[in-house]
Structure 1
Amino acid sequence: MAAQDAANGAFPDPREAVTAQEFTASLRRLRAWSGLTYRQLEKRSGVQGVPLPYSTIATALQRDTLPREEFVEVFVRACGVDPVPWLVARKRLAAGGTEAAGPAWPAEDPAGAAPVPRPAQLPPDAGDFSGRAAPVRELTRLLVDGEARTIVISAIAGMAGVGKTTLAVHVAHGVEDVFPDGRLHVDLRAYDAPLAPADVLARFLRALGVDGQKIPDTLDERAAMYRSLLAPRRVLVVLDNAADEAQVRPLLPGTPTCAVLLTSRRRLAGLEGVHHLDLEVFESGPSVELLGRIAGADRVAAEPEAALEIAALCGGLPLAVRICGARLRTRPHWRLTDLTRRLRDERSRLDELAVGDLAVRAGLSLSYAGLDADAKRLFRLLGLLDAPDFASWVADALLGVAPGRAERHLDELLDARLLDVRSADGPGVRYRFHDLVRVYARELAETQDDPSDRRAALARAFGGWLALAQQAHIGLFGGDYAVLHGSAPRWPAPAELCADPVAWYESERPSLLATVDQAARLGLDELCWDLACSLWSVFETVAHHDEWRVTAETALTVTRRAGNQRGEAFALTGLAHLAVARQRYAQAMEYLDSAIRIFESVREEHGRALCLTMAAYVHHMSGRHDQALPRYQEALTGLRRAEDHGAEVICLRCIAQIHLELARPDLALPYLDAARSLVGGADGERYHPQLLDQIGRFHLGLGELDEAERVFARLAGVTDEIRDPQGGAAARCGLGEVLLHRGEFEQARTLLHEALTLAREAGERLLGARVLIVLGRCHAGEHDHGRAVVLLREAADRCAEIRTPLWEARALDALGAVLLADGDVRAAESAWTRARTLLATAGSPEAADVAARLESLGTT
C-alpha cells in the first residue's frame, strides 16, 4: 500500500471537505489513490454483491453535487476503504443544505424504453504503438482533467505519415473510462473529397440514437440538435484528417462534459481555445523500436547498423518505418541489409516504401494535389536543391519573381505540411524539406518540368548564394579585393542578410557547401569556382579549413574538366592560400607555381599579382627575404594596375614586416604609411587587422610601449567585433609583450593564455609558437626557468615543423638565455649555435647579436 500511496498521491480525508464540490473531488482523489480504473471498480463492486456500472462512477465523479449514500458506500468499499467516515462526512454536508440531485446507478429502464446508445466508433488501436510517450501523457492529462471547465480540443498537426491518426486513436482508447457515454469518430478526408459538416452531423446524430427521418435539413439545426444531445453526456469526439476550420466548427460540442481530439496536416490556427500539438518525426531510437515491434526485435537486434540506416533512409517518418517493418515481416528470407540496399537509390525509394494499402507517395500526392499551380511549381523546383535548408529569397529566385512574391506560396507549402520551418534564428527564417518529401518533389520535377527550365531555376538560386558570398567577403574585407570573379550571373538576394557575415555563413554553411558541389555536378563551372573562391575570406576568418579545402578541390576538378583555365588557376590559388594558412609552405609553392604559369598563359595579370604576393609571403616565412622582397615589389606593380587597393595594402604591410624583422624600421615606415593611407583611417583599419598588428610591432620595436599598447588594444577591439580568432590572438600577444617589457608578468600571462586559446581556434601554428615564445620569456622574467624552458622548446619545435627558420631562431635565442641563467652553459651554447645559423641564413642582423652571446660564453 505504501508503494501505491507514493504512486498515486496521499490518502484523501473526507472530513476536510466543506462543500459538495470538495467532497466529490475527494472521491476522485480516492480513486486515483486506489490505482483502479472505472472498469476495475465496476468489477470489485459486483463482487460485493451490488454492481456499480463504470459509466455511473465516471458520471458521478465529474459532477459537483453530492452522490447518493448508497453510491458512496459501494464506491468507497470498492476502493478498499472503510466507508463510515465518508458516509459521516456526506451526511454532515447534506444536513448543511449542500445536497443536490446527485447520481447513483440508474434505475431499471421503463418497460419498452430503448437503451441510450453509446457509440464506439474508434478504429482498432495499433498493437505495435510506440515512440510517443510524451504526447500520449500530454493528451491523456488534458482529457482526464476533471477540473477542466472548458471543452478540451487537442489539435494534432503534422505531415502525412507522421502518425497523427495512430496517436489520436491510441489516446482515445486509453481514456475510455473517462468518456462512458461513447466515442464518436470520423475521417474528414481533408485531401480526398472532404466530407461536408452537414453529412458528418447526420452520421453522428444517427449514432446518438436519432431516427433518420427526424434529422433536420439545415447545417445549423443539425449542429444544435447534436450539441443538445451531447450536453448531459461525457462523449469523446475524434475528428481525423480535418481540412480547415470551417469543416470542424459545426462538429464541436458545446458543453465541458465532452472533449475533442482533432488531427490535421494544417495547424488550424483559427480555432479558439485549442491546445495545439505539432507531431514531429521519430529520432533514430523510436524508429528502430517500431521497426523491431513489426519485423521482430531479434531480427533487428541482429543487424543494428542496418536498422539505423533504415531509420535514417525513412527520415524517421513513422509510416515509412511501418512499411519497412511490414515488408521485412512478410519476407523472412530478407536481411535488413537487403532492404537498405533497395532504399539507398533515391530514384526508387518511394517505390520501395509501399506495401498493401500503405504508401508514402500516396499521402504526399494528396497534399500536393491541394496546392495551387504556382505553389506546385515552387514545390517541384525546391525539391531540386541539394541544400538542406534555405531562406525565402531562394523561392523568389527559383520562380524568377520579384523579392517577396514567393512567400505566399511558401506559406501554402507550410500549411500543407510539405515544408517545415527549420529555424527563425539568425538572419531570417529558414525552411527545409523532410527527406522523403524532397525525394517526392524532385521526382515530380524530373517528370513534369523541362530540363532547361530546371537548370535555369537552379542557376538563379545559385546566383543568389554567389551574390551573398561576395557580399560577405566585402563585409569582412571592407571591399571586393584580393579575389577574382567569374562571369556567372548573380541573383539579387537581400544584401542585409550579410550584415553580420559570420552569422550569415554559420546559418548558410551546409547549404553553401551543398551548392558548390551541386553546381559542379551540373557543370556550372564558372559559378562553382566563383562561389568557392568568394567564400575563402569567411573560411579563413572562422578557421574552417576542411570546408575551404573541399570547396576549392571541387572547383579545381570542375574547371579542369571544363577547360576553364582562369577558374582552374584561381582554384589553385585558393588551395595555396589554405596551405599558407596551415603553414604548409612547400605545398603552397607547388600550387602557386602552377597557378602563375596558367595566369601568364591566359594573360590574367590581376590573378598573377595575387599569386606573386602569396609566393613572396611563403619566401618571407621561410626566411628567404632576398627572394621575398623582389616578388612583393613585382606583385605591387600588378596590383596597382588592377586597382586592387585592398590587396595592395596587404603587399605593402608585408614588405614593411620584412624591414621590421631585419631591424630596419626606417625602411618599414614608408610602406606602413602608404598602407595606412590606402586604408583610410580608423574605419578602414577594422578590415586590415594585420596592418594594425604591424604598426603595433613597429612601435614595440622602437620601445614606444604606450603607443604600441594603444594600437594593440584597438586591434583587440576590432578582431573581437568581427570574431576573428587569428587577429584576436595577435592583439593579445602584442599586449602581453608590452606588459612583459613593463615587468607586469602576471597580467601578461593571463593575456598570453587567451592568445594561445584563440590561436588554436584559428589553427594558427606559427602564431601559437610566437605566443609561446613571449610566454616563455614571461616565465623567465619570474625566474620560473623550468616552465620557461618547456615553453620555448615547444615553440622551437613547432617552428621547425612548419619550417619558419626566423621564428625558430628567436625561440632558440630566448631558450639559450634561460638555460644560461639556469647554469646549463653547454645547452645554452647548443641553442645559440643553432639560432645563429638560422638567422645568418635568413640574412637577419639578429645573427650578430647571437654571435656576440656565444662569444661571451668563452669568458663565462
Structure 2
Amino acid sequence: MADDLRAALVRSRSLDDLVHVLVMARTAVGNPSFTRLARSVAALRATREVAHRLPPPGRVTVYDAFRPGRRRLDVDLVADLLSALGREDLTQDARAAHRRILREGSTPSDRASIEVVDLPPIESDLPDRSAELEQLTTQVLHAVRDGEGASRPGHAVLALFTGIPGVGKSHLAAALAGRVAAEINGRDRPLRILHIGLRTASGDTGSASLRPREVAAAIARTAPAGGARLIVVLDDVPSDEDLAQLLEHTPGTILIVTSRRRLSCPHAVVNHRVEPLTTRDARIMLERSLVGQVQPGSPTEDSTALDRLAQISGGIPLAITMLAGQARSRPGWFLGDHVRRLTALTHALAPALHEAYAILPAAEQRVLGLLALHPGRLGEHDVAVALAGDAGITNPVGHLHNLVRENVVTRLGDGRFDLHDVVRSAARSRAAEDFPRSTQRIWVHDLAADLAARADLVWARAAAQMSPPFPQRPERGPLGLPDLSDLAQQPHAMDDDATLPRDLGECLAWLRSVIEVAVTTVHLAAELALSREVSVLATVLGPFTVYDNSRQDGHALAADAATHGLASLRMWHHLAHARESMALCRFEEARDALTRCVELADRARESGHLPVPSRAELEAEQAEIIGRGFRYDSAITLLEHALSSPEHTDGDRVMLHARGIQAFNLAGRPADALASCEYVLAREEAAAHWATLARLELPRALRELDRLAQAEAAGRESMAWFARRGVLLHRIIAPWQLAEVLVAQGRRGEAHTLFESAFTLALEQKDPHAVVISGSSHVRNLMALGREDEAEETLTACTRASAAAYGPPLSVNYTLAKAVALAPREGTRARALFESCLHEAEAGHLRLHLTSVRLALSAFEARRGAIAAARVPLLALLRDPTATPLGRRLATQRLATLAR
C-alpha cells in the first residue's frame, strides 16, 4: 500500500488525484471519520512551535478535503492529514505533486459521490489474529461453496463485524476479503475486491444519508463487464434497516460489513464482535510498528515505556497505528518521550471514542457519563437509582441497553455492565467536562443512599440469624451516625423490600454480590467529598466484610472512611482502619491508624464527648499490632500491664484476656493461655463474642500442656461449634487446630483429612493468610506421610499466597514448610532455611514456633545420619525454660531414640 500511494502521488495530474490519494490513505487505516481526523490534526498542530502553528481545522474543512471536484486544495491540510493517517513519509511527495499540478494548470475531473476503491488481497499484520481469521474464512467459504449463506438463491453471502471505534474491524474485514479471495480466485470467473466507506455512520452528521440503492448502483458502475465475482467490504453500515436493503440490492456478492452498532441479521454466516487487543498483543503490535521509528533507550526503560504505551492505546489498533505515524514525524525521540507527550495530550490517541461519545443522544451521554465516572461495574438497578432524580433522563435502563447495542458498553455474564478501559478513559474525560460536580454528587448520593438502605436491612436480617448474633458496630445509633431511615425514602430505594432475601445464606450471597459496587461507590463518594455517604456505607458493610473474611474490601472501606468520612466518626473509622490493616499484615499502617485513633479518643475524653473506645480496647489493639507485626513478648507485657489496671471494667478484662490468648500460646505460655480461656468461657453468657476466641485457642493451649485427650475433645467441640456459627476464618482455623492435636498424638493419617479440608476452604476463600497457616502445616504432614508430590503442589499455593501475607508467625510457618519440602533433595539449601527459621523465631519471641523448628531440624539431621547434629536442637529445647510440656516430652523421646 505504501508504494501504491507514493506511485499515485507521482502519477497525480489533478487535484482530484490528490484527493484520491487521501481517500486511499484513509481507507488503509480503517476509515477514521472526519471529526476524528480534525481532532488529530488539531492535536498535531498544537505540538508545534507557536511561530509555525496553524489553526485547528473544523470537521467540515476536513470533509471538504476528501471531496472530489475541488478547484483549490490546502496543501498544508493535506500534509497534516497524511501525518494524522500515519503517512508522514508522504508529505513531501504530496507537496511536490501539488506544486506540479498548479504549474500544469489542471482542472477537476468528475468522480462518483460514493468512493469505491479496489483493495488487493492483504493479510492482517495484527498479532495473534491468524487463528481468528482462519475460522472466519472457513465459515465464509463454506457458505460460498455450499449455498448456505442465504435464505434464498442469489442472496449475498454476509459476514458482519462489530466493535468499538478503532478496534480493527476494517482491517480484519479487509484481511478476511483477501483470505477468501485467495481461496476462490479464478476457479470459475474473475474476482474483484471493492471497498466502500459509508460516511454516514462515522459521526459526520452534516452529511446527507447514502441510500442503499445508490450504493448498489455505485458498485454496479465499478464492476467490470463479464460477470466478475465481487467481494465488497462495506464500512460503517449504520442500522439493521440499511443492512437489510443493501442485501436486497447486492445479490450474488460476498458482503463483508463493519459497524459500530451491534447489527443483527439472520442471514449472516459470520457475526463477529472484534475485541481490543490484549495488553500482550498491543505491545507486540507497538514493537512492530515502532521499529526504526524511535531512538533506542535502555532495555528496562524501553520495556516500561512499551507497557505504558500499550496501556494508553487501550489495545485499539487504530490508536497504535496513529502513534506509529506520530513517531515517524519525531525522529530521535525515545519511547519515554512519547509516553510523556501522550500522557499530557489525553485525547491524542482516542479521537474516535470522543467522537462516538459526542454523537450519542444527550440521555445516553448521561448514562455513559455515570458508568465512566463510577469505577465499579453497575447493574440495571444501580443505574436506575442513581439517575432517578435526573431531569435530563426518563428511562435510564432503556438508554443503558441502547449503549450496549452501540458497542460502547458491555454486559457481563453476571448481569452487570462494564466499559473497556480506553472507552472509560475517553468517556470519563468528556463526562467531567459535560456534567458539573453538583450533578455527579447527586448521582452518587442517590446510589449510595439506596445501597446503604438495602444493605443495612439485609445485613440486619443475616446477623440476627447468627448464633451468637453478630455484634453491631459501636459507631452506630447513639454515637452520631446519621439515622439510616431517611436513606430508605429515596426513589427506587426500598420499593423492592419484599424481593430482598431473608434466609441467612441468601442474605450473605446478596451482600457478596453488591460489595464491589459498595466499595467503588465509596471511592467515588470520597473523590466527591460526600463524607456522610462514605461513613454510612463503610459502617453498614464493615461488619459483613469481617464476617465474610473479605479483608481487602473491608480495608478499602475503612481507609476511605478514615480519611474522607464524617469528622464526628473519624475516631471510629481510624480504629476500623487499624484493625483491617492488621488483618492484612500491614502493621506500620495499622500502628499509624491506631495512633490517630488514640489521639482523637484522648481529645474526646478531655472535652467530655463520649462514648469513645475504652483505654483497654485501644491497649488490646496496640498489643495485637505489636505482637503480630513485631515481638510477642512486648505485646504480652502491654497486655499484663492493662490487666493490672484497676480502672478497667469486668467487660474490659474479659476482652483483654480474650485478646491475649493467642499471644500467650505463641510465646510459649500455654498455662497462661489456658487460664485466660477459662476466665473468658466462664463469662460466655455475657461475652459471647470474646468466647469465640477462647474456643478457638483452647485446643492449642491444652496440646502444649501435653493434655492431648482434653485437647482433642476441645478441638472437636470447637470445630462442631464453628461449623454452625462464627466468621469464615474460624471455620478454617478450627479443623487446623484439631489436626495439630492429632499430629501430636501420632495420628497423621486422620490429621491429613482435616488439614486438607482447612487448606481447601482457605483456597476457596482466597485468604492468603489462611492459605499460609493451613498450607504450611499441611506440607509438613504430607512430607511425613511420604506424599511429596502433593506437598510440592501445596507449597506452590503457599508460595503464591505468601506474597500477600506478612508477619513473623506466617513467615516462620512458610519457611519451615519450605525447608521440610526441600530436605530430601536439596539438603544444603534446606539447612539454610532451618537456620533462618531459628533466627526469626528467636527474634520474634515465637517460642511455640521455635519448638517446631528445633524438632524439625533434629529430624532433618537424623535422616542425614548426623546423630550429633540431630541432638543439638533437642538439647537446646530441653535447656529452654520457656519450652512447653509437649515440646519437652517430644525432645526427650527423640533423644532416647537417637541414643539407641
TM-score range, shorter chain: 0.5 to 0.7
Is 1:627–2:641 an aligned residue pair?
yes
Q: 1:782-793 counterparts in 2 under 5 A?
A: none
From 378, 398, 421, the equivalent of 2:367 is 378
Is 1:601–2:613 an aligned residue pair?
no
Q: Which has the higher contact order (CA 8 A, sep 6+)?
A: 2
Aligned to 1:711: 717
Q: Give unpaired runs (5+ residues) of structure 1.
A: 1-118, 211-225, 640-647, 680-684, 780-785, 840-845
Aligned to 2:815: none
Is 1:733–2:737 an aligned residue pair?
yes
- What SS does the corresponding residue of 2:330 show, helix, strand or coil? coil
C-alpha distance in 2 between matches for 1:231 and 1:632: 107
Q: Which amino acid aligns with 2:276?
A: V
Change (3 A) 1:604 1:393: farther
Is 1:389–2:377 an aligned residue pair?
yes
From 356, 364, 375, the equivalent of 2:356 is 364
Change (3 A) 1:123 1:473: farther
Q: 1:188-337 counterparts in 2 under 5 A?
A: 188=198, 189-190=200-201, 191-192=203-204, 199-205=211-217, 207-208=219-220, 234-253=229-248, 257-269=252-264, 271-291=266-286, 296-297=291-292, 299=294, 303-337=302-336
- Retained in 1: the 8 A contact 2:194–2:231? yes
Q: Residues 447-472 of structure 1: CA distance to partner in whole angstroms, max 9, x if unpaired?
A: 33232122232344455666688789
Give the superposition deviation at 1:157: 0.6
Aligned to 1:172: 177
- Retained in 2: the 8 A contact 1:324–1:353? yes
Aligned to 1:662: 671
Give the superposition deviation at 1:496: 5.9
Change (3 A) 1:291 1:833: closer
Aligned to 1:46: none
Give the superposition deviation at 1:746: 3.5
Aligned to 1:479: 470
Give the superposition deviation at 1:713: 4.2
- Retained in 2: the 8 A contact 1:157–1:263? yes
Q: Which amino acid aligns with 1:627?
A: H
C-alpha distance in 2 between matches for 1:616 and 1:632: 19
Give the superposition deviation at 1:414: 1.0
From 136, 140, 164, the equivalent of 1:143 is 140
- Retained in 1: the 8 A contact 2:719–2:731? no
Give the superposition deviation at 1:320: 1.7
Give the superposition deviation at 1:614: 3.2
Change (3 A) 1:127 1:325: farther
Change (3 A) 1:374 1:231: farther
Change (3 A) 1:299 1:628: same
Moved more, 807-816 or 245-254: 807-816
Q: Residues 133-159 of structure 1: CA distance to partner in whole angstroms, max 9, x if unpaired?
A: 344333332333343222232110101
Is 1:133–2:130 an aligned residue pair?
yes
Aligned to 2:409: 419
- Retained in 2: the 8 A contact 1:596–1:611? yes
Q: Which amino acid aligns with 1:140?
A: T
- What SS does the corresponding residue of 1:276 show, helix, strand or coil? strand
C-alpha distance in 1 between matches for 2:783 and 2:645: 34
Give the superposition deviation at 1:524: 3.7
Give the superposition deviation at 1:413: 1.1
- Retained in 2: the 8 A contact 1:569–1:596? no
- What SS does the corresponding residue of 1:155 show, helix, strand or coil? strand
- Retained in 1: the 8 A contact 2:196–2:234? yes
Q: Alignment identity in percent?
A: 18
Aligned to 2:880: 834
Change (3 A) 1:627 1:186: same
- What SS does the corresponding residue of 1:605 show, helix, strand or coil? coil
- Retained in 1: the 8 A contact 2:578–2:589? no
Q: 1:686-701 counterparts in 2 under 5 A?
A: 690=693, 692-694=695-697
Change (3 A) 1:520 1:417: same
Change (3 A) 1:848 1:201: closer
Q: Residues 786-820 of structure 1: CA distance to partner in whole angstroms, max 9, x if unpaired?
A: 98999999887555444455x4687599899999x
C-alpha distance in 2 between matches for 1:266 and 1:479: 50
Q: Which amino acid aligns with 1:247?
A: D
Q: Which amino acid aligns with 1:605?
A: P
From 666, 681, 704, the equivalent of 1:672 is 681
From 375, 380, 387, the equivalent of 1:399 is 387
Q: Residues 322-350 of structure 1: CA distance to partner in whole angstroms, max 9, x if unpaired?
A: 222222223335443333212213xx411
Give the superposition deviation at 1:538: 7.0
Q: Residues 528-568 of structure 1: CA distance to partner in whole angstroms, max 9, x if unpaired?
A: 46656777667767878777767655554556xx8x36414
Structure with larger Rg: 1
- What SS does the corresponding residue of 1:275 show, helix, strand or coil? strand
- Retained in 1: the 8 A contact 2:159–2:270? yes
Give the superposition deviation at 1:432: 2.0
Q: Which amino acid aligns with 1:831?
A: L
- Retained in 2: the 8 A contact 1:418–1:437? yes
Give the superposition deviation at 1:249: 1.2
Is 1:454–2:453 an aligned residue pair?
no
- Retained in 2: the 8 A contact 1:732–1:751? yes
Give the superposition deviation at 1:279: 0.4
C-alpha distance in 2 between matches for 1:267 and 1:670: 68
Change (3 A) 1:172 1:774: closer
C-alpha distance in 2 between matches for 1:688 and 1:501: 25
- Retained in 1: the 8 A contact 2:699–2:741? no
Change (3 A) 1:135 1:706: closer
- What SS does the corresponding residue of 1:748 show, helix, strand or coil? helix
C-alpha distance in 2 between matches for 1:526 and 1:817: 59
Q: Which amino acid aligns with 2:438?
A: S
- RMSD of equivalent CA atoms: 5.8
Q: Which amino acid aligns with 1:748?
A: A
Q: Size of the alignment, in residue pairs?
A: 670
Q: Which amino acid aligns with 1:711?
A: E
Change (3 A) 1:449 1:635: farther
Q: Residues 714-740 of structure 1: CA distance to partner in whole angstroms, max 9, x if unpaired?
A: 267569x9763x641442231341464
Change (3 A) 1:632 1:414: farther
Give the superposition deviation at 1:278: 0.3
Aligned to 2:28: none
Change (3 A) 1:277 1:825: closer
TM-score (norm 2): 0.59
Change (3 A) 1:127 1:332: farther
- Retained in 1: the 8 A contact 2:736–2:758? yes
C-alpha distance in 2 between matches for 1:305 and 1:600: 48
Give the superposition deviation at 1:597: 4.3
Give the superposition deviation at 1:161: 1.7
- Retained in 1: the 8 A contact 2:671–2:701? no
C-alpha distance in 1 between matches for 2:483 and 2:121: 55
- Retained in 2: the 8 A contact 1:374–1:409? yes
From 377, 388, 399, the equivalent of 1:409 is 399
- Retained in 1: the 8 A contact 2:546–2:727? no
Change (3 A) 1:814 1:526: farther
C-alpha distance in 1 between matches for 2:776 and 2:246: 75
- Retained in 2: the 8 A contact 1:253–1:259? no
C-alpha distance in 2 between matches for 1:688 and 1:252: 75
TM-score (norm 1): 0.62
Give the superposition deviation at 1:313: 0.5
